[in-house]
Amino acid sequence: MAKKPNIRDLSLPELEAQMLEWGEKKFRARQIHQWLWQKGAGSFAEMSNLGKGLRDQLSAAFDIAKAQVEDTQRSSDGTIKYAFRLQGGQLVEGVLIPTAKRVTACVSSQAGCSLDCKFCATGFLKLQHNLHHYEIFDQVQILRAQAEVEFGRPLSNIVYMGMGEPLLNYRNVLRSVEMITSPEGLGMSPQRITVSTSGIAKMIRRLADDGVKFEFALSLHAADDATRSRIMPINDSNDLATLREALTYFYEKTRTRVTYEYCIFKDVNDSLAHARDLAAFSRLIPSKVNVIEYNAVPEAGFENTTRARMDAFIQYLEKEGVIVNVRRSRGKDVDGGCGQLALKNWEPDMLKAPAS
């Protein structure tokens, strides 16, 4: 049987046209839209303010294909990791992270990743699927409901820091943000959303051209080309000079402060010389730096640095006037920390061949 189109690929005007074509009243489209994007309906049968005839007609013509929670794992620190099964069969992971002030949802934009950052669990997985915008949206909608159930608090922040490189699935990421922020969707503020990239210069310029309003984070992890290329092969084609130009362009167009993510690895990027390069890089445009504790991925062969070296690194940055936040690892005991998503429960053929 031919696959039915997903109704969530239709915009509100397109839904309206469909209703008129079927001889229905135009306002039915808005009702369906609300069920899909505000109430999170997973089936047409739930759409109780539509007549049975229309519900049946919708089911015959369209799918909703909502992502399903397949598994959850609870960390001792309150973090909960969710495995989502997509309609195509792929698994992706999302994480709900409660802190005193926030409840943050971390969502995936791709199943696997085409990039090969040496320290990241997702980087070991082949890219299997670029998530549709509604598959990203589903993770947010489910995690938003879970925040209320689990913590009795509303979801406050969303970070695109799960599996995958958001800027290599650009259109779907932007469209998901649109529905998360739209009053006809979840109505959340774009300032509560952070999209993180490993640094695709061309797409950073595109973000600037599109005038995006969300927060923007660049995974820097080293501010000299030799070190960065060693841990992030994407740096060979998007080196620091290229990124500097793209960032300057981004700032000129958006006037948005950028956040640099700096995961700190023992004996790789944790010296004061590295801190000096980072401080210099961070002066390019208004920015802040998140120094992140490494969540060790055993297969990767990197270690977290010592507390003493991390403290010295941070002190140096602060002395240089850099705005620094320290991100302690969360959800480690369920492999739910940043960059730990995905190495378990995967079939061997989903793994990339080891680098020769």
Residue 348: CB atoms within 10 A of its CB come to 5
Identify the residue among 19, 32, 113, 258 touching ligand SF4 (CB under 6 A): 113
Query: Pattern 235-274, binding to ligand SAH, x per CB under 6 A?
Result: --------------------------x-x-----------
With tokens 């109780």, the residue in question is: 48
Question: Which residues in the 269-288 window bind ligand SF4 by CB under 6 A?
Answer: none
Residue 219, SS3 per DSSP: strand
Q: Give whichever of 58 and 115 is closer to ligand SF4, judged by the CB atom.
A: 115
Among candidate residues 163, 64, 27, 171, the one with its CA nearest the CA of residue 107: 163
* CA distances for 214 relative to 189, 217, 331, angstroms: 8, 10, 25
Angle at 97 between CA 191 and CA 182, to 5 degrees: 35
Catalytic pick among 16, 24, 93, 293: 93
Q: Give whichever of 24 and 93 is closer to ligand SAH, judged by the CB atom.
A: 93
Distance in angstroms (rounded) separating the CA atoms of residues 211 and 213? 6
* CA distances for 308 relative to 133, 173, 266, 315, 337, angstroms: 43, 39, 11, 11, 22
Least distance from C-beta 289 to ligand SF4, angstroms? 17
Which tokens is 52 given? Answer: 């049975």
Site membership for ligand SAH, residue 297 (CB under 6 A)? yes
Identify the residue among 8, 75, 158, 164 touching ligand SF4 (CB under 6 A): 164
Distance in angstroms (rounded) separating the CA atoms of residues 199 and 243? 7
Site membership for ligand SF4, residue 167 (CB under 6 A)? no
From the list ligand SAH, ligand SF4, none, which binds 93 (C-beta under 5 to 8 Å, kind-based)? none
Question: Which residues in the 314-353 window bind ligand SAH by CB under 6 A?
Answer: 337-340
Catalytic pick among 106, 117, 263, 338: 338
What is 312-326 written as a DSSP string? HHHHHHHHTT--EEE
Which residues are near ligand SF4 by CB under 6 A? 113, 115, 117, 120, 122-123, 164-165, 198, 219, 339
Which residues are near ligand SAH by CB under 6 A? 117, 119-120, 161, 165, 196-198, 219, 261, 263, 292, 294-295, 297, 337-340
